[in-house]
Amino acid sequence: MKALVYVDGFAPGEGESVLQLAAAQPGSMLNADPATAFNAVPYPGAPAGDVDRNVKPELFPEAFANDLPPRVGAVLAASRRPLTLGAAASPSGPPAWKRLPSWYLLGTDDNAIPPAEQRIMAARAGARTVEVAASHLSMLSRPREVTRLIVDAARSAG
């Protein structure tokens, strides 16, 4: 691997978790009372206390796909994969961004990962950052910009 490209994503530092980063800055629709944002679903073989955390279908379109047609948001809400509570709470290991050049596409209308937190993570990683008026799913709503950033990273990293 020669470079990293983040698209509206988490770029944790060592010891940080997704839950911690999602709550570090205001603006995430997922930081409400977990019972109002998620359906907790047991899964086979889960460690004690762990569950799949499914974003409530009625919340998903506004939290993740607020710049896509409502019908697309509804389909995505019905077809996405959950994240286990254990995975969301697990601390990250040593970050690859400390040793690899990074690029970051930041959706300024992201209601899942607050744009303020994305700016902090991108700056800390020394990422070449592009901001676009897009939701968390900018890869669907702004594919040209995402592709352009990936191509730029690939060319720069050689």
| CB-count exposure of residue 6 (10 Å: 0-12, 13-18, 19+) | buried
Is beta strand 102-107 parallel, antiparallel or unpaired with respect to 4-7? parallel
In this structure, what CATH number is given to the domain that contains residue 72?
Answer: 3.40.50.1820
Split into its structural domains, the chain has a count of 1
pLDDT in tens, the chain (158 residues): 999 999 999 999 999 999 999 999 999 999 888 899 999 999 999 999 999 999 999 999 999 999 999 999 999 999 998 999 999 999 999 999 999 999 999 999 999 999 999 999 999 999 999 999 999 999 999 999 999 999 999 999 87
Whether pTM > 0.85 for this model: the answer is: yes
Determine what percent of the chain falls in helix, strand and coil, rounding each to the nearest 5: 40, 15, 45
- Letter for the amino acid at 100? L
Range of the domain at 150: 4-157
